[in-house]
A and B are shown apart, each in its own frame.
Chain A
Amino acid sequence: MATIKMPIPDQDVIDRRDDIVGALLAALPDGIVISDDAQTLAYECDALSAYRCKPLAVVLPRSTQEVAATLKTCHELGVSVVARGAGTSLAGGSLPTADSIILGTARLNKTLEIDLANRFIRVESGVTNLSVTGAVDADGFFYAPDPSSQLACAIAGNIAMNSGGAHCLKYGVTTNNLLGVKMVLADGEIIELGGAHLDAGGYDLLGLICGSEGQLGIVTEATLRILPKPEGARPVLIGFDSPEVAGTCVADIIRAGILPVAIEYMDRLCIQETDKFSGAGYPNVEALLIVEVEGSESEIQAQLEKITAIARKLDPAELRQSTSEEESALIWKGRKSAFGAMGQINDYICLDGTVPVSQLAHVLGRIGEMSKQYGLDVANVFHAGDGNMHPLILYDANKPGDLDIAEKFGADILRLCVEVGGCLTGEHGVGIEKRDLMGEQFSPADMEIQMSVKDCFDPQWLLNPAKVYPLDISEKRREGGGQ
């Protein structure tokens, strides 16, 4: 029995289901509204699959106008709307409730404009992250944020969660690469923020939208910054016998004035399992770093020389420079298959807390101790350069009570992240998963002012209302009692 509670659905809304579906059918062309149980099944959960619920209906609009018509109808009928990109949220960001409709962006899938001279691309928000790079790859450009679900995940979801990826140490996260949006507000009004130019005047509402988890509006179009591809990139693999020394190595590289494009970390359990799974040929060590640098051949060589010199001073157990495309691919193959590999041996919860880089070794040590207390194994794989950890807590879904223990363990890890100066989530979002821990990081006043921003965009709290803020503190707003 999973422990995260959802609000009791509004029976009045559920009783009006036929009328609501009828109103949506009347407001939209044929084929947009799905209300057949067999077809809505796929929308009952996202990648936090331990939680599922049947929505009232699913709407898959093909244009901004259709999104507006959907929201206007729901607004008039007092029905909540849960936005869904590709459904890859690990935080339950697009988990429906029984009294809500799902609004999916899947059919908003056109590339609208590519402008290489001004280095931007304008797309509909349902396109996948990888297809954005695909559209400009042949011209020598790419879209920088690269969440590991990039093959499947939608730009709409990336904007909702302000997604990151392995390369954000150098290139930033979604908010640093988003230039403008067209979006629909809760009452169906269409607005535009930003554009192809930089630093739109007035309050930075674009910055506010990015990472707002579908609670402020539905983004239908995005203008994204594209970057020229580097001439080349190459990883070096560094193994250490202690997590502390690996942590020192990360700090030493950064202090030396080198900014690698990625610094990835894996611990022993993760190294072993991913190596079995991928055949990456990883060494038998306590901590593995993959450090990637970019540039021309001579630039790559110069940076790798500096990095290996720093690493050698720390007496690494293994130091392996890639000498070919194949070797580079193999080094990354293990890291990129880490979540899949761990999934082969166990069910797991993937956490996403960030800690100050200086606290990495301490936090890893504490997680190890807690792992013994809770009796559940943890594999650590994460972006070390920016302190964004991804502890994977392994549990057995078929064993009664195991998920509960795993969730309690996870909550303790996230509390620790906050305690050492970090945060609950670095790139996955709060959703329902960390919702009830928000009070660990924020004071009541901190959350009150955030919720008051939602009041401005969505006074009736119809957009994804049961997420992000603990249910008890959002209750009055969700139930229409006002602020």
Chain B
Amino acid sequence: MSAILTPADENEIADMVREANAAITPLEIQGGGTRSGFGRPVQAAKTLSLKELSGITLYEPGALTLVARAGTPVATIEKTLAAEGQQLAFEPMDHRALYASKGEPTIGGVVAANVSGPRRIQAGACRDALIGVRFIDGRGEIIKNGGRVMKNVTGLDLVKLMAGSHGTLGVISEVSFKVLPVNERAATLAFHGLSSKEAVGILCGALGSPFEITGAAHLPQNSEGPLTLLRVEGFASQVDYRLERLKATIGTGLECSVIEGAEHERLWRFVRDAEMFKGTDNPVWRLSLKPSDAPAIEEALAKKTDAKIMFDWGGGLIWVGVDDAENGATETIRALVSGFGGHATLMRGPEPLRGSIAPFQPQAKPVARLSAAIRGKFDPGGILNPGRMVA
């Protein structure tokens, strides 16, 4: 068990990072610790926990703006927003089901891992809603970028760079978001028994319609037969209209039902949190591709490995669980994905596997060189989450 540092403000973080940099003591950066199974294992003498740096510092519902310290629990933010009828539209996944982890997910962790959910296809990713960051770089400098306004092109956009940098470019101390209204009503149009090819055809067709689909998933291995889900949101009468139009245009002649209420909530939480992999510990991959390639990927995978599969984002995101705990079917999956021009991330796997392969998609040489150079500028001592993203 490594020593845990718990700074209470930015200046304390800066002091701790400066000290660690001078002593060349690597730090593992942690929010709620619910996502530590994401990426390569980090070997660090000390853990820097942001849990004491908590609280919403600004919330203006009329401006759709929320600013919070990095250690603020996601639950606190979602509750505060819900009280004003607003939400984090990118629907961040809760990784506790996947990793069987305990603790409270924090907003800083969401940003560090650029965590989004099913609504990403319509409302954008975490990085799209993020409008400002404050962080402490690897030399202990306090840096700000972006701000609290949703249109801002002043200087280089380091806000996007920090999202998904997994604590390797700086210790994020504060984040600002554009938030959005919660829709008055949500319902799901569910199709039963479709092949994956038919399902992706339906999902792509619906996403190309003007009905603002906010969730498009397909569960080919659902216990009661394949299930295809289209989420529709809006004010009450709008949802009725959209459901009817979808049935009439792309659902003609197909068996379908409308799901609302608690079952609807449960289904989308199941998709968002990849709950089909809950309770096991076999390797899980997340593949990002063109949606229309999803059925071919599934077919090719079925020939090589006994995979558990779920489609989100209209087929653009494929969750794949494999039995091969030793190698994670890495070569098979990477070869397959690169043939289709997408990328694959190992989302879960035993430590030896995550340490021996590259959990994040290896980059082309010049891109990898640029990424390494940027890390060299932000964290010249290489003390922040060393090895988390690349060996």
- Find out whether the CB atom of A383 lies under 8 angstroms from the CB atom of B85: no
- Find out whether the CB atom of A197 lies under 8 angstroms from the CB atom of B341: yes
Could you say which of A198, A208, A255 contacts B120, with CB atoms under 8 Å apart?
Answer: A198
The residues in B between 233 and 251 inclusive whose CB is less than 8 angstroms from any CB of A are 234-235, 237-238, 241, 245
* Known interface pairs A176-B128, A251-B62; A228-B209 also in contact (CB < 8 Å): yes
- Find out whether the CB atom of B125 lies under 8 angstroms from the CB atom of A208: no
How far is the CB of A203 from the nearest CB of chain B, in Å? 5
Find chain A residues with CB under 8 A from B156 CB: 208, 211-212, 450, 453-454
- Find out whether the CB atom of B373 lies under 8 angstroms from the CB atom of A202: no
Which of A269-277, A319-327, A401-409, A439-447 makes up part of the contact surface?
Answer: A439-447
A202–B156 CA distance with the chains assembled, in angstroms: 18
A168-211: contact bitstring with B at CB < 8 Å (1 yes, 0 no)?
A: 10001101100000000100010111011111111111111011
A254–B63 CA distance with the chains assembled, in angstroms: 7
* Known interface pairs A230-B210, A426-B153, A450-B156; A201-B345 also in contact (CB < 8 Å): yes
Could you say which of A189, A204, A251, A428 contacts B63, with CB atoms under 8 Å apart?
Answer: A251
Find chain B residues with CB under 8 A from A204 CB: 114, 127, 160-161, 163-165
- Find out whether the CB atom of A357 lies under 8 angstroms from the CB atom of B62: yes
- Find out whether the CB atom of A199 lies under 8 angstroms from the CB atom of B149: no
In the complex, A468 has a CB within 8 A of chain B: yes
A140–B207 CA distance with the chains assembled, in angstroms: 12
A295–B145 CA distance with the chains assembled, in angstroms: 36
Closest-by-CB residue of B relative to A452 is B377
In the complex, B97 has a CB within 8 A of chain A: no
B324-368: contact bitstring with A at CB < 8 Å (1 yes, 0 no)?
A: 000000000000000001110100000000000000110110111
- Find out whether the CB atom of A252 lies under 8 angstroms from the CB atom of B62: yes
Find chain B residues with CB under 8 A from A457 CB: 370
In the complex, B259 has a CB within 8 A of chain A: no
How far is the CB of B71 from the nearest CB of chain A, in Å? 23
In the complex, B181 has a CB within 8 A of chain A: yes
In the complex, A355 has a CB within 8 A of chain B: yes
A353–B120 CA distance with the chains assembled, in angstroms: 29
Which of B16-24, B26-34, B221-229, B288-296 makes up part of the contact surface?
Answer: B288-296
Could you say which of A117, A205, A254, A354 contacts B291, with CB atoms under 8 Å apart?
Answer: A117
A228–B164 CA distance with the chains assembled, in angstroms: 29
In the complex, B316 has a CB within 8 A of chain A: yes
- Find out whether the CB atom of A258 lies under 8 angstroms from the CB atom of B181: yes
The residues in B between 148 and 163 inclusive whose CB is less than 8 angstroms from any CB of A are 148-161, 163
In the complex, B88 has a CB within 8 A of chain A: no
Which residue of B238, B245, B376 has the most chain A CB atoms within 10 A of its CB atom? B238
Which of A29-37, A38-46, A391-399, A417-425 makes up part of the contact surface?
Answer: A417-425
Closest-by-CB residue of A relative to B317 is A198
How far is the CB of B273 from the nearest CB of chain A, in Å? 17
Could you say which of B125, B147, B342, B367 contacts A193, with CB atoms under 8 Å apart?
Answer: B367
In the complex, A3 has a CB within 8 A of chain B: no
How far is the CB of A53 from the nearest CB of chain B, in Å? 24
In the complex, A162 has a CB within 8 A of chain B: yes
In the complex, B84 has a CB within 8 A of chain A: yes
Could you say which of A208, A354, A453 contacts B151, with CB atoms under 8 Å apart?
Answer: A354
Find chain B residues with CB under 8 A from A250 CB: 62
Closest-by-CB residue of A relative to B380 is A452
* Known interface pairs A117-B204, A191-B367; A426-B237 also in contact (CB < 8 Å): no
Which residue of B64, B125, B150 has the most chain A CB atoms within 10 A of its CB atom? B150
In the complex, B389 has a CB within 8 A of chain A: yes
- Find out whether the CB atom of B292 lies under 8 angstroms from the CB atom of A355: no
Could you say which of A189, A203, A387 contacts B161, with CB atoms under 8 Å apart?
Answer: A203
A303–B237 CA distance with the chains assembled, in angstroms: 11
The residues in B between 50 and 80 inclusive whose CB is less than 8 angstroms from any CB of A are 60-65
- Find out whether the CB atom of A358 lies under 8 angstroms from the CB atom of B124: no
A224–B121 CA distance with the chains assembled, in angstroms: 14
Find chain A residues with CB under 8 A from B341 CB: 195-197
Beyond A140-B208, A456-B377, 7 additional contacts (C-beta under 8 Å) are A201-B343, A201-B345, A202-B363, A207-B159, A257-B184, A295-B210, A355-B149
Name A's B-contacting residues (CB within 8 A): 115-119, 140-141, 161-162, 164, 168, 172-173, 175-176, 185, 189, 191-193, 195-208, 210-212, 228-231, 250-252, 254-255, 257-259, 295-296, 298-299, 302-303, 354-358, 383, 386-388, 421-430, 434, 438, 441-443, 445-450, 452-457, 468
12 pairs from A and B in contact (CB 8 Å cutoff): A195-B342, A197-B288, A207-B159, A299-B234, A303-B235, A354-B151, A357-B62, A358-B60, A441-B155, A450-B145, A452-B378, A455-B373
